[in-house]
Amino acid sequence: MRLGTLTLENNLVLAPMAGITDYPFRKIAREMGCGLVFTEMISAKGFLCKKSATLRIRRDEKPVVVQLSGSHPATLAEAAEKVEAMGADGIDINLDVRRDWW
C-alpha cells in the first residue's frame, strides 16, 4: 500500500491513542503485522520546550507517524520540522482551532 511517498507492507494502521500508543505498544503492533503506527498525541509546545515526554523514533517501529497537537501554526511547523529531522515517516497535525491564533 502506498501513502504519498511512503510504501507500507499492508493496509493495517494503528490509530493514534492518547495514553496507549507508547513505544512498547507500537513495537508489539508492528511485530503483529501492523503496516503503520502512530505515536501518542504530543504537545508541539511541550515538545519544543522539552516539558513533554521525550520522543524517540526507533528503527524497529518504522514506519511511524508522529501526532502533534497545538493551537499556534508556527509552533506546530517548528515541531514538525524537528520531528521530521528525527526520522518520522509522517506527521499528523491536530490543530486546536478553539484558540485565537489568527
Q: Could you tell me the strand order of the sheet in which 90-95 lies?
A: 37-43, 64-70, 90-95
pTM assigned to the model? 0.87
Given this model, what pLDDT does residue 65 score? 96
Map grid coordinates 523514533 to a residue: 57
Beta strands in 1-102 (DSSP E): 2-3, 6-7, 37-43, 64-70, 90-95
Compute the average pLDDT of residues 22-51: 92
| Contacting residues for 47 by C-beta, under 8 A, at least 6 apart | 55, 68, 79, 82, 83
Rg value, the chain, Cα: 14
Residue 14, pLDDT above cutoff 90 = yes
Compute the average pLDDT of residues 57-83: 94
Residue 48, pLDDT above cutoff 80 = yes
